[in-house]
Amino acid sequence: MTKRVRSRLGALALTGLAGAAAPLSGQEQLSAGVSALVIFDRVDPIPLGGARGEVRVVHPVAMLHALLGQRLSFTGMANLEGLTIDDGQLAPGVAGEGYADRRHPHTYLHEAVATFEHSASLNETDIAYSVSAGKGFAPYGSDDPMSRPVIRYPVNHHLAQVLERLVAIAAVRAGPAGVEAALFNGDEPDGPGQWPNAGRFGDSWSLRLTVYPAGGVELQGSIASITSPEHRDGGGLDHSQRSVSARLERELGRHRVYGLAELARSDDDAFVLHSFLAEGAWGTGRHRAHYRFERTERAEEQRLLDPWRTPRPHHDFSNLGITRWSLHTLGYAFDAPVARGFEVTPILEATLGRIHSLTPDSFDPELFYGRDTFWTVSLGVRIGWGARLHRMGRYGAAAPDPGATGTGIEHIH
């Protein structure tokens, strides 16, 4: 084994806190954990005007990481949001899978990926290569927002990540650069209990190049061709997507800093949507502050009688125009270990935003919401035991280096 693979074996063995990591035999290691966020959200205005506050349990997940010998690993996550937020979570601007201005619940089986990895040394250069398969993330864009500091999901979630697909991924990393290529099914879920359409596996693909120029620094560029994501049977518009980002996470003295800046673009032959997002976090001791700015364009669709929902499957005639959402989000969190392996993290967050219509003749935010500005306040408590949230979507040879696996939520101390 190369130094990189040996260090990753050791890192995963330590992923679970005391009492959460169970040694099996030889090179086999198992790590597990659970986590959930109980949160109160207050939003003003909501669709059709007025304000609303709700208490929800979000991100109720159970995680499992296993190393089976030197070359085989498994990453799994169950997500119970289908039970806790079946009607979605208040989130102005967020849209997808038939929800609008609410974040949709993820599927019960969020991630279940097996990976075979091997490595070699050529001319003193470590080369790692892997093959991964299962249900999970296609190699495209940035990390899942669940594992990032800001608890509010960004508007660009469906522009910047491709998740919950049947994937087959090949990855190679040599020195400071890595390449991933994947085939997957284009259809996105219509509900938390729905399984991907296996008959469509291979109709979509993605490529991602990542460069690691220095410790804790990642630069990535990726492209994806997604066949009919909004129509399960394949009769909808195809999406061509592009993403570039820069990510920083490192220790600076007694402080830990995190930063992400990304550009994303999606073209479905009807609309071209653009997004810019920059976020950062700074932590010292048990305290952490974070901030995000986002400017993302969103296609507006006709609403059903329920103003939070849009037609599924999506059809061309439901498009009303494009809006641009500009948001500033500021937050604070405090990590409070309660018992061995058990942590509680109170979080306070606020967002101020503005909605601008790029097609005012077809969609007017002031008519639909009552005004073109909005605010949200969120107060929550994250409860976790055992293994912490990992950076979802990078498997095998594409996994982050040990020491750079923090997520910006529970790893910034």
Which residue range is the domain that position 372 belongs to? 3-398
Task: Tell me, yes or no, whether 288 lies in a domain.
Answer: yes
Nearest C-alpha neighbor of 145 from the set 397, 329, 364: 329
> Is the confidence at residue 333, as pLDDT, over 60?
yes
Q: In the structure, what pLDDT confidence band is assigned to residue 407 with cuts at 50, 70 and 90?
A: very low
Give the number of domains in the chain. Answer: 1
Partner residues linked to 260 by β-bridges = 247, 279
Residue 145, in any domain of the structure: yes
pLDDT above 90 for 401: no
> How crowded is residue 390: how many other Cβ atoms within 10 Å of its Cβ?
25
Q: How far is CA 274 from CA 244, 278, 362, 373, in A?
A: 12, 14, 19, 20
> 107 in a domain, yes or no?
yes
pLDDT reported for residue 320: 86
Does some domain include residue 404? no
> Which DSSP helix (H) or strand (E) runs through 55?
strand 52-68
186: phi then psi, degrees, rounded to nearest 5? -75, -30
Choice between 316 and 40, residue whose per-residue pLDDT is larger: 40
* pLDDT at residue 381 greater than cutoff 80: yes
Could you read off the pLDDT of 78-133 as tens digits, one per residue?
Answer: 999 999 999 999 999 999 999 999 999 999 999 999 999 998 887 778 899 999 99
pLDDT, one tens digit per residue, over 249-297 is 999 888 999 999 999 999 988 889 999 999 999 999 999 999 999 999 9
Q: Which two tokens stand for residue 393?
A: 């979507």
In this structure, is residue 25 part of a structural domain?
A: yes
Return the H-helix or E-strand segment holding 48. none
Residue 11 has pLDDT above 50, yes or no: no
Q: Residue 79 class from Cβ within 10 Å (0-12 exposed, 13-18 middle, 19+ buried)?
A: buried
**Is residue 281 in some structural domain?**
yes
Q: Are strands 72-79 and 177-184 parallel, antiparallel or unpaired?
A: unpaired
Q: Domain of 17: which CATH number?
A: 2.40.160.10
Spatial CA neighbour of 282 closest among 303, 253, 308: 253
Quote the pLDDT of residue 341. 81
pLDDT attached to residue 400: 81
- The answer to whether position 177 is within a domain reads yes
Tell me, yes or no, whether 232 lies in a domain.
yes
Grade residue 35 by pLDDT with cuts at 50, 70 and 90.
Answer: very high
